[in-house]
Amino acid sequence: MPVIEVQGLSKVFGKNNKQALKLLDQGKPKDEILKETGNTVGVNRASFEVEAGEIFVIMGLSGSGKSTLVRLINRLIEPTEGSVYIDGEDLAKMDKKNLRRVRREKLSMVFQKFALFPHRTILENAEYGLEIQGVDKEERSKRAKESLEMVGLGGYINQLPAQLSGGMQQRVGLARALANDPEVLLMDEAFSALDPLIRKEMQDELLDLQETMKKTILFITHDLDEALRIGDRIALMKDGSIVQIGTPEEILVNPANDYVEKFVEDVDRSKVLTAQHIMKRPETINIEKHGPRVALERMREEGLSSIYVTDRKRNIKGYVTADDASDARKREITDLTEILRTDVPQVGPETSMHDIFEIIHDSPVPVAVVEEGKLMGIIVRGAVISALAGETEVISEDA
């Protein structure tokens, strides 16, 4: 069973939102509803599920409704319509007392601008969630310290938040959220206010922590690189609606529509795309059947300066170049093995493009993509460049 299950969740800001809801159900867009009713649509019938231990990223530009959506999930903002099930309990229909219980026991939130209480020490901040539950002083101090320890702030417990750097403050925010030992962590642009180096460090740390914690994390961000880096799955939002949900790869490789495509245009693909996305079907010759003459013929047909050589089972043997083949033909050599070169530049199908750069840079021939000794495909320089430029058509799906 999913830990978080959101069904048809909508938020319409403004009075008399019945009319706006009706228009929403008719599929009218946000700006039209604003014009007709004066109501602003924050979130438009969002539905998704988050499994236990998953990092689910909601990403979108500012104004896309992602911050509203996360606040609907712990009901800091009252939903207009729809349900939010946490462990099967519908938060949207809960009374205040039960809502408090769920917030205390199951949901914790980390905020963009940290939202630390400036008048409380680091320890007192981390204790806050336990304090309001009435956990006695000794116990809550122990648990808060453990949680501060976990984020690497064990030595700062008596400082005030203002004395800490941004990165450290957000660690406190994280420690405060973890001190309750919640099932679900809601992280609202948690790293967006940090400078890029610290942000990356925090992302790594979150991933490290997640290895041991296995929390269910709902992470909000406007930064696609961040989403791709930490998300197990990503939901892309636009104008209050979720446009696509998928793994980072699915979103990059199969954008659901123009909007997503435009969005992923600028992404640093070298970190996300791997060899299998950009390789193409190789031209090969069979070492058991063919000689230099066939090799030369095939290369001429395809306009290549080299060709890969395999056996019948597609096990890679090496490659021959056009020069060697033509030389061999002149000298009337018929055995391919004499001119076979075996210094094959090769990568695995999961090798990232980032690592392919170096190999392809020095290589006189296309890079071979090899899995368990078998030639899966080849990568030519042009494909790398095209993929970086975001031309998805060169990314072969059948390979």
Partner 1 sequence: MLNFMENVTQIPIADWVSTFTDILTDTFAFLFDPIKNDFGAFMEWLAELLASIPPVIVILLVVILAFFASGKRFGLAAFSLIGLLLIWNQGLWEELMFTFTLVLVASLLSIIIGVPFGILMSKSKTAEAIITPILDFMQTMPAFVYLIPAVAFFSIGMVPGIFASLIFATPPTVRFTNLGIRQVSSELVEASEAFGSTGSQKLFKVELPMAKKTIMAGINQTVMLALSMVVIASMIGAPGLGREVLSSLQRAQVGTGFVAGLGIVILAIIIDRFTQSLNSQKGDA
Q: Tell the smallest beta-carbon distance from residue 74 to partner 1 (Å).
A: 6
Q: Point out which span in 81-89, 98-106, 149-157, 335-343 binds partner 1 (CB under 8 A).
A: 98-106
Rule CB under 8 A: is residue 113 a binding residue for partner 1?
A: yes
Task: Answer yes or no whether residue 128 interacts with partner 1 by CB under 8 A.
Answer: yes
What's the CA gap between 100 and 130, in Å, rounded? Answer: 13
Of the pair 113, 262, the CB lying nearest partner 1 is at 113
Of 37-45, 116-124, 259-267, 368-376, the window that binds partner 1 (rule: CB under 8 A) is 116-124
Q: How far is 107 from 182, CA to CA, in rounded Å?
A: 5
**In this complex, which beta carbon is closest to partner 1, that of residue 28 or of residue 120?**
120
Smallest gap from Cβ 353 to partner 1, in A, equals: 39
Question: Residue length, the chain?
Answer: 399
Report how many residues bind partner 1 under the rule CB under 8 A: 27
Site string for partner 1, 163-182 (x = CB under 8 A): -------------x---x--
Of the candidate residues 27, 95, 119, 358, the single one contacting partner 1 (CB under 8 A):
119
Tokens of 312: 């019948």
Q: Name residue 174's amino acid.
A: L
| Cα–Cα distance for residue pair 361/15, rounded to 1 Å | 62
CB of 109 to partner 1, least distance (A): 4
Binding span for partner 1 by CB under 8 A among 5-13, 80-88, 128-136, 140-148: 128-136
At closest approach, how far in Å is the CB of 192 from partner 1? 13
**Residue 71 sits in the site that holds partner 1 (CB under 8 A):** yes
Which stretch, 55-63, 106-114, 227-235, 298-306, contacts partner 1 (CB under 8 A)? Answer: 106-114
Of residues 125 and 306, the one with the C-beta less far from partner 1: 125
SS3 annotation, the chain: CCCEEEEEEEEEECCCHHHHHHHHHCCCCHHHHHHHHCCEEEEEEEEEEECCCCEEEEECCCCCCHHHHHHHHCCCCCCCEEEEEECCEEHHHCCHHHHHHHHHHCEEEECCCCCCCCCCCHHHHHHHHHHCCCCCHHHHHHHHHHHHHHCCCHHHCCCCHHHCCHHHHHHHHHHHHHHCCCCEEEEECCCCCCCHHHHHHHHHHHHHHHHHHCCEEEEEECCHHHHHHHCCEEEEEECCEEEEEECHHHHHHCCCCHHHHHHHCCCCHHHCCEHHHHCECCCEEECCCCCHHHHHHHHHHHCCCEEEEECCCCEEEEEEEHHHHHHHHHCCCCCHHHCCECCCCEECCCCEHHHHHHHHHHCCCCEEEEECCEEEEEECHHHHHHHHCCCHHHCCCCC
Of 75 and 200, which CB lies nearer to partner 1 in the complex structure? 75
Taking CB under 8 A as the criterion, the residue among 61, 132, 385, 389 binding partner 1 is: 132
Interface with partner 1, residue 101, by CB under 8 A:
yes
**Closest CB 95 distance from partner 1, rounded Å:** 13
240-269 residues in contact with partner 1 (CB under 8 A) are none
Among 11, 66, 103, 233, binds partner 1 (CB under 8 A): 103
By the rule CB under 8 A, 131 interacts with partner 1: yes
Closest CB 30 distance from partner 1, rounded Å: 24
- Residue 74 binds partner 1 (CB under 8 A): yes
Binding site for partner 1 (CB under 8 A): 71, 74, 76, 99-104, 107-109, 111-113, 115, 117-119, 128-129, 131-133, 176, 180, 186
